[in-house]
Amino acid sequence: MLFELKNVSHIYMRGTPFATESLRGLSLSIPQGQTTALVGPTKAGKSTVVDMLAGLIKPASGTLLFEGDDVFAPSFDIERIRSSVGVVFQSPEAQIFEETVGKDVSFGPRRKKVPLAESRRLVKESLEAVGLDYEDFRSRYTYALSGGQKRRVAIAGVLALQPKVIVFDEPSAGLDPRGRRELLELITRLKQQQNLSIVYVSSGLDDVISLADTIYVLDRGRLAFHGTPREILAHADELAALDIALPEAAQIAVTLRETLPNIRTDVLNLDELETEIVRNVTIEAQSTIDKAG
């Protein structure tokens, strides 16, 4: 188990007139080798959890375990978390600060005092993993990159750290449909090729429904419910109450419930939806015939 949060609470802007409880008694676990999603509307506490996973803040109360060790123990070195956890934040521009792509991506390995040859190999592999050609991009100026390229460079920079887990903080926010598709393809590819542990934070279910193994739904600092993607989709009404958008397929299923009352809402994609509709139409048609007959 990589991370375990037990009954964690946190107060944002503690001691000021603007203080608010960002987390109240939240418990969740991030296992190794899996993709865990944290979903919730704004002010649900997601950013606070990300900050904790990144080793930037400690909870005000409760227990936070990293690889089984208590983060609050005096012997615990926060550096352990920071060097094992890579975070890709919402706006990649914020994470890039070196002049050239090569320098920026190699920042992680350099800090870890990795020897030059090894560092170069890491940079090459990381850039290639995100679909950027090493020779072409390594001496390009970072400020001259497009938004999409910057995003990839930021991810490459995190990969070069060889982290145990990568946290993606609302990475598709503000992207157009094609950008979103490309990003999800990239993450899926990374997941498969590198067997990464991933934590994906988002405000909607669209991205994570096919990506995640476990989804935690947060509401105002508390855990509302959690489960596999299918289990989550069964909570369609509660999700609507929390203003969390259902993925397209499930949303359509919910709308069709009036006409097809027994339709299952835990459909993950178009194919499943189509099959489910056909199945239900057959059932409904049959029952109409039975009633008439």
What is the binding site for other proteins (CB under 8 A)?
13-18, 41-43, 51, 54-58, 82-83, 85-87, 89, 91, 93-95, 97, 107-108, 111, 147, 157-158, 161, 173-179, 203-204, 240, 243-245, 248-249, 251-252, 255-256, 258-260, 270, 273-274, 277-278, 281, 284-285, 288
Which lies closer to other proteins via its Cβ, residue 36 or residue 204? 204
Which lies closer to other proteins via its Cβ, residue 146 or residue 192? 146
Which lies closer to other proteins via its Cβ, residue 51 or residue 266? 51
Q: How far is the CB of 260 from other proteins (least distance, A)?
A: 7
Which lies closer to other proteins via its Cβ, residue 63 or residue 91? 91
Q: How far is the CB of 20 from other proteins (least distance, A)?
A: 11
Which lies closer to other proteins via its Cβ, residue 190 or residue 242? 242
Round to whole Å and give the CA distance between 149 and 71. 36
Q: How far is the CB of 288 from other proteins (least distance, A)?
A: 6
Q: How far is the CB of 125 from other proteins (least distance, A)?
A: 18
Which lies closer to other proteins via its Cβ, residue 156 or residue 223? 156
Q: How far is the CB of 221 from other proteins (least distance, A)?
A: 16
Q: How far is the CB of 107 from other proteins (least distance, A)?
A: 6
The three state secondary structure string of the chain is: CCEEEEEEEEEECCCCCCCEEEEEEEEEEECCCCEEEEECCCCCCHHHHHHHHCCCCCCCEEEEEECCEECCCCCCCCHHHHHHEEEECCCHHHCCCCCEHHHHHCHHHHHCCCCHHHHHHHHHHHHHHCCCCHHHHCCCEHHHCCHHHHHHHHHHHHHCCCCCEEEEECCCCCCCHHHHHHHHHHHHHHHHHHCCEEEEEECCCCCCCCCCCEEEEEECCEEEEEECHHHHHCCHHHHHHCCCCCCHHHHHHHHHCCCCCCCCCCCCCHHHHHHHHHHHHHHHHHHHHHHHC
Q: Tokens at residue 19, please?
A: 């203080």
Which lies closer to other proteins via its Cβ, residue 5 or residue 11? 11
Q: How far is the CB of 13 from other proteins (least distance, A)?
A: 5
Q: Which residues contact 118 (CB under 8 A, 6 or more apart)?
A: 109
